[in-house]
Amino acid sequence: MAAPADEGMWLPNDPPKKLLKDKYGFDLTDAWMTNAIRASVRFSNGGSGGFVSADGLVVTNHHIGADSIQKLSTREKNLYRDGYYARTRADELKCPDLELNVLEGIVDVTTRVNAAVTPDLTPAAAAAARRTVLSQIEKESFDKTGLRSDVVTLYQGGLYHLYTYKKYTDVRLVFAPEHAAAFFGGDTDNFEYPRYDLDVCFFRVYENGVPARTEHFFRWSPVGPTEGDLEFVTGHPGTTNRLETLAKLIHRRDFTLPYTLYRLRTMEAALDRYAERGPEERRQAATDRQRVANSRKAFDGQYDGLLDPQTLERKRLEEQKLTVQLGLAGPNLPLRPQDVRILPWQHVAEIQDRFAKFERDYDLLETGHAFSSELFTIARHLVRLADELPKSSGDRLREYRDSNLDSLKRTLFSPAPIYPGLERAKLSASLSFLAENLGGNNKVVGLMLHGKSPTGRANELVGGTKLADVAERKKLYDGGKKAIDASTDPMILLAKAIEPDARALRKRYEETVEEPERQAFAEIANARFKLLGRTVAPDATFTLRLAFGVVKGYAAEGEKLPYCTTFAGAFDLAEKQGNRDPYELPARWLGAKTDLDLSTPLNFVGTADTIGGNSGSPVLNRAGELVGINFDRNRHGLVRNFVYTEEQARHIAVHSKAVLEALRTIYKTPELVRELTGK
Amino acid sequence: MAAPADEGMWLPNDPPKKLLKDKYGFDLTDAWMTNAIRASVRFSNGGSGGFVSADGLVVTNHHIGADSIQKLSTREKNLYRDGYYARTRADELKCPDLELNVLEGIVDVTTRVNAAVTPDLTPAAAAAARRTVLSQIEKESFDKTGLRSDVVTLYQGGLYHLYTYKKYTDVRLVFAPEHAAAFFGGDTDNFEYPRYDLDVCFFRVYENGVPARTEHFFRWSPVGPTEGDLEFVTGHPGTTNRLETLAKLIHRRDFTLPYTLYRLRTMEAALDRYAERGPEERRQAATDRQRVANSRKAFDGQYDGLLDPQTLERKRLEEQKLTVQLGLAGPNLPLRPQDVRILPWQHVAEIQDRFAKFERDYDLLETGHAFSSELFTIARHLVRLADELPKSSGDRLREYRDSNLDSLKRTLFSPAPIYPGLERAKLSASLSFLAENLGGNNKVVGLMLHGKSPTGRANELVGGTKLADVAERKKLYDGGKKAIDASTDPMILLAKAIEPDARALRKRYEETVEEPERQAFAEIANARFKLLGRTVAPDATFTLRLAFGVVKGYAAEGEKLPYCTTFAGAFDLAEKQGNRDPYELPARWLGAKTDLDLSTPLNFVGTADTIGGNSGSPVLNRAGELVGINFDRNRHGLVRNFVYTEEQARHIAVHSKAVLEALRTIYKTPELVRELTGK
């Protein structure tokens, strides 16, 4: 069961050197890899990017920078819609709460973690022991290095690695195109190809008030890739589920995904309705809408894929083969999903049955799907911090461990605007969603609605809370438990009211699902290691990975799709669609049409293995130069969460040459071009 | 428990003469009532209208005519978007499948129905006996009069009335404004006030190829109503649930409505995504989108209302009072919902528990929510007709009874276009919805998906069926059972495959829910009659009703809202919103602005009791003249399904003067104006 072809999101400390040598004759040197690691950037809000100058300049996707661009926008000055360019350093705009991480080191701590969690422990004791040892390892590392330190669980529990990161918290916006140029084709063309998106933006990291010196960065290729080129993608893929068992995928199909789709459609409807009220409401809801629509489309594709019997059949055969190789089953058995329950596969299946009984409650009340509101999120953190901070770091809920507090406080005290109307719309929809799921007679529903309808209750909460004011949050944070106990802020009262139920669900989840799953998956991982070594990369974990592939077109529905599109194609499509949203090219584009070299490649596709979180990933050539910025995958790639295929599945990237052409001809940013090219 | 104030959708053969006399000093004469009945029109697709000339001219809402206007539109000639005016009779466009009904007579057949359904029958036998006697009564009436004959169940089973209708099937489009003028403010302002919608259109009924002579019609008031005027609304309110028991409303809250909202959001998302693909897709999906959005907003309001404890508390107190008055309970009991289970209330509660066990399956497979596709609907009718037609009319599934066949065949063989892309989008979303609800391992889901993903299966079905061709439908219809058995059309095969499950669910529903509910509600109705006489109107049943009220503004959120809006307000709002969809006034409006009397009233509100189905209802003054065309109610009126209030709840209508001003000044239709006013 070696990974087929170009599959794999490889660990940076264990890259597939032999595979690359054998298949592509490429020598992956340590110097190449070190530069790739040090020049790659993680965006705390869920994306990737890369340094592209020695002065801390970072490129990423517009849709990854969007959260910050939106927070820098106002009713009067809509940078998200209209774009932005800082001609001088003084014009660069500081983002209110963006954090970038750059990987510094990796240490395998599997032995230490496993030694702390001994087989004789009950699941509850094991969960506590694991939480404590993880927190200790992170704290020791942080105390020693001053670096952000996170223990990462790989192979669903097979390995534990300590990652240390340099953290940048002074990040400033340098350049963004118009949203319409970055997301040309909108939701309709999202996860589709051909595409014509200038989905890029630039930030700069600062230290002590001046641009950071970044020794490692990617040189910008003025040529970019062409068909057949070997390509590399570095970045932070978020989540894949390829090493999960058949039982867990069936659980996803029959519990998690239907619920998720129901939830996303509910939120999308609420956001769309809010946006339709007028231009200002549209502006406020813009990034939420794009995020939710993107998730909805991705999960729709996942669900469609899991309902295709071939997807699960492939998984079943893999699992069967593995159990046969391990001597756990005869070659013709097991044949049906319910027969695959050989320990630890059986154990995973049992855990799914257990989780199904309280998964909705857990998602609604602990994950917080019932309270889709920034103000509620703030209230919950304040309530929990008051309870958690007096404990030692290892005993706290994991998100409140010492090594994470700085990052948490940055978002908690962020001066980014919170819009009451938008909050009301989201909260009322999610309170309704809560009642729809648990029923109007449910005790918790009654407690949360407090004698009101969802709309009435949302109005009361958002209208009454003072948490939109950062000073108020700081006061409650500083006042600790006493201040929280005394608070009559309605959002704080809501967060306090749900706390007993939410904590009970969290405990039940950690002790009866998370910990037993880790143990079972660790067993499976060890069995796989025994048979296959490390020839299969671990599932994605929003940590740095290296993928590789070939720049290459494909055929779909009888049509041959080329490896790249051009500027000419964008203008053609806009004209065909009447230059109407989401196919409305910005005025700057229309004005520059005659000056543009319309044959310049705009977007391109390749076989490298990517997933959500890889947005903004640098695409590199053999020389380690940046030839593209990954921003999407096509619809054939939507089942990549479960299986990798390279027949039709492709990642999609902005061509490095397109960026230069646009900056020069459309946006006229000579300073930025000079920084990228030296010219 | 007399009806408060202006509540009531009154039966046309039992109008509230005394109430009107006592409260408003109005003498409702038989002549007034006869004209109101004969001039009122029912639209078969779920709306109301009225004759407004002796030559068969009918006014209704644009959103009621929309289905036909859309079917008359093509990619090249988009009447739905751009409007239409037939300057001469020869230009009037025949609608492909529209049927209008005009009430001719009502006969009480309660005694005969009840005599056929004797208390000794099992529920199954009772259901069969009831179906047979209803069918017999209708067939006898049809054979005798040649009129469409429907037995209507009133008071949820308390009374049975035979309604006979004159039927018009040659209906032609005379005038429609642009969709943007008819639905100015779009979904955002739907169920809101103030409003500025010219939501009207005109049809003409023909007989034997010439305009029908319509002796009874409403004279068009050139003045319209003003604040404080007594108003009447005649029309066909679809469904209210005010006489349902507390247990049934709780069932709606905890089962029916959450499922309905989930379904509508799923369909709306699919339709929105389809529409975003381009202008032609937007055109194709336009009426479906408006219909689904309207339902979603209405049910959202209902659900929000039922989650407000005050709504159910009011119902509980009513029920308690009634049981006390009937001597069934002491004055302080029952206090909690679960205690209200005194027969027949208890019986209704038990039926809800029973229904909850298979309601989703019933809705998905028998109602057809799993197969949202016109092609599937056609296939199912063809499959069922082959089985049902050989039976005697009284033994058939009710929709295939002789007296309904003409109407059914008109839709079955309608030449209206069916769009394959739209069909695929809807069917794939609803097949996914099926799997989301029943799970990927479910036998029926497997049968329906047939080894494909929802998307793949929808493509296969829509791509393979020939049912878009009317000739093919006729061939299968004429070929009967033999042709259906031999057919390999994939949509026919699908409809055949689901038939055993669907029929079993239908039978289970009719025998264990519908019939027992009717019996229980009949008992409750009789108890109410004993105590209260007929002082409370029956719930709405999509049959002709008379409502009355006062033209009157109201206050909301501290703001005083006037009884009417004006043309000036429409222009102001469009300007404020940047004249952008859904606040984009058509070019004709902008061009006519200087000629318009901008102070002309455009929309007005009143307290008359309306609900969905009242769209297009004539609003009349004391003289029986048409002073408005009802088209909506405000959000405070969304709980009207369960309780009537007149504090803030209002119906919303187009002012009769606005229509004349628009026809004269914007649309320049002197012929139509002359027909309406004689001038």
Residues of chain B found within 8 Å of residue A262, distances taken between Cβ atoms:
262, 265-266, 436
A190 touches chain B (CB under 8 A): no
pLDDT range class, residue B331, cuts 50, 70, 90:
low
Separation between Cα atoms, residue A580 and residue A572, nearest integer Å: 13
Tokens of B244: 């349902």
Q: Which residues 297-356 on chain B approach chain A with CB closer than 8 angstroms?
A: 300, 303-309
Residue B330 scores a pLDDT above 80 = no
Q: Which residues 557-586 on chain A approach chain B with CB closer than 8 angstroms?
A: 577-578, 580, 582
Can you tell me whether residue B258 is helix, strand or coil?
helix
Out of A262, A273, A580, closest to residue B262 by CB: A262
Separation between Cα atoms, residue A585 and residue B411, nearest integer Å: 43
**Please, are residues B199 and B565 in contact by the beta-carbon 8 Å criterion?**
no
**Please, are residues A511 and A372 in contact by the beta-carbon 8 Å criterion?**
no
Residue with tokens 């239409």: B84
Chain A interface disruption, residue of B190, B191, B307, B459, most A CBs within 10 A = B307
Q: Around Cβ B108, how many Cβ atoms within 10 Å?
A: 14
Separation between Cα atoms, residue B2 and residue A646, nearest integer Å: 72
Separation between Cα atoms, residue A41 and residue A615, nearest integer Å: 11
pLDDT at site A343: 79
pLDDT range class, residue B334, cuts 50, 70, 90:
low
β-pairing, B100-108 vs B210-211, is unpaired
- Residue B193: what residue type? Y
Give, in degrees to the nearest 5, the angle at Cα A100 between A193 and A542.
Answer: 55
pLDDT at site A1: 35
Q: Tell which wins on pLDDT, A529 or B445.
A: B445
Out of B187, B278, B300, closest to residue A276 by CB: B187
Tokens of B494: 């699908």
Residues of chain B found within 8 Å of residue A303, distances taken between Cβ atoms:
432, 435-436
pLDDT at site B3: 42
Q: Which residues 262-291 on chain A approach chain B with CB closer than 8 angstroms?
A: 262, 265-266, 268-269, 272-273, 276-279
Nearest-CA residue of chain B relative to A278?
A: B577
HSE-up of residue A23 (Cα within 13 Å, Cβ side) = 16
Nearest to B130 by CA among B151, B105, B108, B148: B151
pLDDT range class, residue B2, cuts 50, 70, 90:
very low
- Residue A80: what residue type? Y
pLDDT in tens, B564-588: 999 999 999 999 999 998 999 999 9
pLDDT at site A336: 53
Out of A277, A432, A577, closest to residue B278 by CB: A577
Q: pTM for the complete prediction?
A: 0.92
Query: What are the CA-CA distances from residue A647 to residues A386, A627, A654, B45, B517 (Å)?
Result: 53, 23, 21, 48, 57
Separation between Cα atoms, residue A403 and residue A138, nearest integer Å: 7
Q: How high is the mean pLDDT in each 10-residue block of chain A (679 residues)?
A: 70 95 96 98 95 98 97 95 97 97 97 93 93 94 94 94 97 98 96 97 98 98 97 96 93 97 96 93 96 95 93 89 78 54 84 97 98 98 98 94 92 96 98 97 95 96 98 98 98 98 98 94 89 88 97 94 98 94 96 98 97 97 98 91 87 98 98 95
Residue B626 is given by DSSP the state E
Residue B338 scores a pLDDT above 60 = no
Q: Tell which wins on pLDDT, A279 or B162.
A: B162
pLDDT range class, residue B142, cuts 50, 70, 90:
very high
pLDDT at site A108: 97
| Interface contact flag, A278 B456, Cβ < 8 Å | no
**Please, are residues A386 and A483 in contact by the beta-carbon 8 Å criterion?**
yes
pLDDT at site B339: 54
Separation between Cα atoms, residue A519 and residue A369, nearest integer Å: 28
Nearest to A213 by CA among A143, A174, A146, A166: A166
Nearest to A424 by CA among A293, A278, A286, A271: A271
- Residue B373: what residue type? S
